[in-house]
């Protein structure tokens, strides 16, 4: 999810499918609700035709030009009834369309998040969480806003056609001059919407960058204060906000220009009606009732092109929003975000308990740096513990992420009990496998919710997970226990508590394979020893693949892999590596020195 360049002159590829097609799919997901709201809005916009006709009849009756018919009081009563009817239409129309748009926003956002979570293959998003939030919040809103414009534009269009037909039957020359400015609006609107398209893109991107920067700054307040960078951070925010201000102003200028031009055209048409009607009335070709009807219709009729221009502008903006959403979702099919019901992906295949996990020739390189791991071979047997170690940058975390499908593999294969794994990202999940990363992520919820992750765990399951993670004493000390809210990313907890909370989440799923990426680095020596003791005191020895530099982990390992520059430099048990591997001897000495302080 790379950022879009802030250059309004740089044309980017359009979305794979137009906003019209995607909006039609969204409308088709709830056809009856959409049709109801559309019908009510059309009624709201076309019902004013009736007061105009009645108003004409009233004034012609008062001036003696009307034929025999209803009396003045009857016409007045009908006129008031016709004036109130659009209000009823608007009330029900708003209810139907708010219901439709709210459900549609939820549907699109659910589909987007579902694709990121459940799609096969690795899901790499190089952008920030703030940029992703802008896609989910603002860009989805822009797409739905485009659909909202359909009701207004279609309703105004129907009114304009019917009004012009009625006016044409009354007086052709006057009606023709009313239509002339409308044709001019269509031509100029096309030019204005081109500017709207360019500046809506850069304005949206500039806003996303401000949102992202504020979000990151909020979660890094302590780091900013320790570095003494408060002033520079605020200066950077001011710079980003100035770019947003300039692009937003230019975007609003184009939008205002479109509205102002449309309103001016309506006034021009009304002026032409006044001029032409005067001469027609002197010639006896135009009655006072005809004049009042034209005056009632001309403003709304000539605004139809303006509504069309707004719709085209929204279409341009919606295309930009879809382009940004596509950049976030990567290889997602265009129709995926408009599915009426997202199908949650289940783990591939039947769950067969782990006996062996084989990694053959795994190669996983970062596209920018070219660093990673290459040609890794490993066989992990049930009940065995394999520890991966090496210096910083050796490729330890990349090995785990590549194996789990969190990063794209350039080569190699994985086998579960001898059977090839088609897609590690959707296969190596609970109950087969659970993973605790180097920097665990906690949600701004309660501690218990972070452990459960929505799973219906029993009290025994929770107690077991908390015990294995050596978190029971911490929970007992918390005033609200498991109901304690942990704050943004677990800010109210210590680093060790965050790691053990994530470990408890992992244990709660009772997976066959535990994968830990330096998950005990923030623990003190005593707590880490208890952690490993409890893990291996279970009735069945766990199967574990872990990155670690700790002495306790080395001593528990059935095999240790020593990585260097993305390749296995040495492998074996602790005793043999201490005898035969100079690299591991250095790592061991460094670990001993660090643990003695």
Instruction: Assess contact for 148 and 309: CB atoms under 8 A.
Output: no
CB-based contacts of 256, cutoff 8 Å, min separation 6:
none
84-88, 246-250, 507-511: which is most confident? 507-511
Residue 391 has pLDDT above 50, yes or no: yes
Please indicate whether residue 236 or residue 593 has the higher confidence score (pLDDT).
Answer: 236
Q: Where are the domains of the chain?
A: 19-338, 356-596
What is the rounded CA–CA span in Å between residue 321 and residue 318? 5
Give yes or no for residue 559 having a pLDDT over 90.
yes
DSSP 542: P
pLDDT band at 181 (very low <50, low <70, confident <90, very high): low
- Confidence (pLDDT) at 549: 85
Lowest mean pLDDT among 109-118, 171-180, 489-498: 171-180
CATH number of 19-338: 1.20.1560.10
The answer to whether the 19-338 and 356-596 domains have the same CATH topology is no
Instruction: Quickly state the pLDDT bin for 381 (edges 50, 70, 90).
Output: very high
CA distance 248 to 260: 18
User: In this model, does residue 250 exceed pLDDT 80?
Assistant: no
pLDDT(2) > 50: no
- pLDDT recorded at residue 373: 92
CA-CA distance, 513 to 544, in Å (whole number)?
6
Average pLDDT, the chain: 79
- Helix, strand or coil for residue 292? helix
Please answer whether residues 69 and 78 qualify as being in contact, where contact means their C-beta atoms are separated by less than 8 angstroms. Answer: no
**CB–CB of 167/174 below 8 Å?**
yes
Distance, CA of 502 to CA of 436 (rounded, Å): 6
3-state DSSP assignment of residue 374: strand
- pLDDT tens figures, 26-43: 888 888 888 888 888 887
At 416 the pLDDT is: 93
Q: Which fold has domain 356-596?
A: Rossmann fold (3.40.50)
Per-residue pLDDT band at 382 (split at 50, 70, 90): very high
Query: Of 4-8, 120-124, 476-480, which gets the smallest average pLDDT?
Result: 4-8
Q: Say yes or no to pLDDT of 12 above 60.
A: no
Of 100-109, 224-233, 247-256, 416-425, minimum mean pLDDT range: 247-256
Are 83 and 89 within 8 A, CB to CB? no
Q: What share of the chain is helix, strand, coil (3-state, %, to 5)?
A: 65, 10, 25
> Across residues 225-238, what is the average pLDDT?
83
Of the candidate ranges 21-35, 75-89, 271-285, 386-400, the one whose mean pLDDT is the lowest: 75-89
């Amino acid at each position: 999810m790379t950022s879009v360049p802030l250059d309004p002159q740089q044309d980017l590829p359009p979305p794979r499918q137009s906003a019209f097609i995607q909006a039609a799919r969204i409308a088709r997901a709830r056809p009856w609700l959409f049709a109801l709201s559309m019908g009510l809005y059309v009624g709201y916009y076309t019902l004013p035709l009736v007061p105009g006709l009645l108003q004409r009849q009233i004034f012609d009756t008062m001036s003696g030009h009307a034929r025999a018919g209803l009396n003045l009081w009857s016409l007045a009563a009908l006129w008031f009834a016709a004036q109130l009817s659009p209000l009823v239409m608007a009330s029900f129309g708003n209810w139907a369309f708010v219901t439709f748009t709210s459900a549609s926003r939820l549907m699109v956002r659910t589909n987007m998040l579902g694709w990121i979570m459940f799609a096969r293959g690795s899901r790499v998003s190089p952008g920030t969480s703030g940029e992703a939030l802008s896609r989910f919040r603002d860009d989805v809103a822009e797409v739905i806003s485009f659909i909202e414009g359909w009701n207004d534009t279609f309703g105004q269009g129907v009114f304009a056609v019917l009004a012009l037909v009625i006016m044409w039957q009354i007086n052709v020359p006057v009606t023709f001059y009313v239509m002339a400015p409308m044709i001019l609006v269509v031509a100029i609107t096309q030019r204005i919407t081109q500017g709207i398209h360019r500046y809506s893109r850069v304005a949206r991107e500039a806003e996303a960058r401000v949102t992202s920067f504020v979000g990151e700054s909020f979660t890094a307040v302590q780091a900013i204060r320790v570095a003494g960078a408060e002033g520079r951070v605020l200066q950077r925010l001011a710079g980003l906000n100035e770019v947003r201000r300039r692009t937003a102003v230019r975007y609003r200028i184009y939008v205002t220009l479109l509205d102002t031009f449309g309103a001016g055209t309506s006034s021009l048409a009304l002026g032409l009606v006044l001029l032409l009607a005067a001469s027609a009335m002197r010639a006896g070709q135009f009655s006072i009732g005809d004049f009042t009807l034209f005056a009632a219709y001309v403003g709304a009729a000539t605004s139809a092109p303006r509504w069309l221009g707004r719709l085209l502008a929204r279409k341009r903006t919606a295309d930009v929003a879809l382009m940004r959403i596509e950049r976030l979702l990567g290889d997602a099919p265009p129709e995926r975000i408009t599915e009426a019901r997202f199908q949650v992906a289940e783990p591939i295949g039947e769950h067969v308990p782990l006996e062996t996990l084989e990694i053959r020739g795994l190669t996983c390189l970062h596209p920018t740096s070219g660093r990673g791991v290459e040609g890794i071979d490993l066989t992990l047997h049930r009940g065995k513990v394999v520890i991966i170690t090496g210096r910083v940058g050796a490729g330890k975390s990349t090995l785990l992420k590549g194996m789990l499908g969190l990063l794209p593999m350039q080569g190699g294969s994985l086998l579960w009990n001898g059977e090839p794994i088609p897609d590690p990202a959707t296969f190596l999940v609970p109950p087969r496998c659970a993973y605790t990363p180097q920097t665990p992520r906690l949600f701004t919820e309660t501690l218990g919710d972070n452990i459960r992750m929505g799973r219906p765990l029993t009290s025994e399951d929770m107690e077991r997970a908390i015990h294995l993670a050596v978190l029971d004493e911490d929970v007992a000390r918390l005033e609200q226990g498991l109901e304690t809210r942990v704050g943004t990313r677990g800010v109210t907890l210590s680093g060790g508590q965050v790691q053990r909370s994530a470990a408890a989440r992992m244990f709660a799923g009772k997976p066959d394979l535990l994968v830990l990426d330096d998950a005990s680095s923030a623990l003190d020596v005593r707590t880490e020893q208890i952690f490993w003791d409890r893990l291996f005191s279970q009735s069945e020895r766990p199967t574990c693949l872990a990155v670690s530099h700790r002495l306790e982990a080395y001593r528990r390992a059935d095999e240790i892999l020593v990585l260097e520059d993305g390749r296995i430099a040495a492998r074996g048990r602790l005793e043999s590596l201490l005898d035969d591997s100079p690299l591991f001897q250095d790592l061991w000495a460094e670990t001993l020195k660090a643990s003695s302080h």
